[in-house]
Amino acid sequence: MSITARFLDQHISDYAKNSRLFMIWGVILMALGLLAVSATTFTTMVTVMVLGFLILFSGCVVLLDTFTFWRGKDHGFVLAFLAGILYVAAGVLLISNPVEGSVTITFLLGTIYTFLGLMRIMFSTAARLPQWGWTLANGVVTLLIGILILMSWPESSLFIIGLFVGIDLFFCGLAYTMAAVTLGNISKR
């Protein structure tokens, strides 16, 4: 018996009890995903600003760590301090200039997708694992997404991030909803 089967056998009743909550959470996430896709520019700005606040907070934590742990230690203080300052500066820039931040992040996304697509294509053709065509297809799709983002950059910067966030929210909600349906069917048996 696999670990997954044992886990399900042990916890299925707990999950089944909460299937209604899974369904509610799934519907909420799908609705938020559709809303995000319908307002991609707004979603992009909010996402960039939230990312800016997270980076700013991380910088404050790094600076706090610098002065509580690294103070008096010659080998790490300066690097930790500079890293903290860099985090804080990046966070402030994203918060104060979300449009410019979205341009930069979109360029990075396009570059990363292009690179990942190429790496997946090279891996799938070199390794030729069973069902390697799926890995190759994944690489081709990832590469095409990267190329499309870069070809439409910087014009696409105001909607790409919001579109990706919306699609992710929708499919995450769909996964919760389908899990709730499956749990409901299992608990009826």
pLDDT in tens, 42-60: 999 999 999 999 999 999 9
Q: Which residues of 75-87 are buried (b: 16+ CB within 10 A; e: fewer)?
A: eeeeebbebbeeb
Q: Do 176 and 28 meet the contact criterion of CB atoms below 8 Å apart?
A: no
129 DSSP 8-state letter: -
Residue with tokens 């891996």: 123
The pTM (predicted TM-score) of the whole model is 0.73
179: which 2 tokens?
Answer: 């899990």
Answer whether residue 1 shows pLDDT above 90.
no
Answer whether residue 93 shows pLDDT above 70.
yes
The whole-number average pLDDT for the span 163-185 is: 85
- Dist CA 1 CA 40 (whole Å): 45
pLDDT tens, residue by residue, 52-85 = 999 999 999 999 989 888 777 777 888 889 999 9
Answer whether residue 139 shows pLDDT above 80.
yes
Percent of the chain with pLDDT over 90: 53
Planar angle of CA 23, 178, 116, nearest 5 degrees: 120
Q: What is the dihedral of CA 103, 109, 112, 115, to 10 degrees?
A: -90
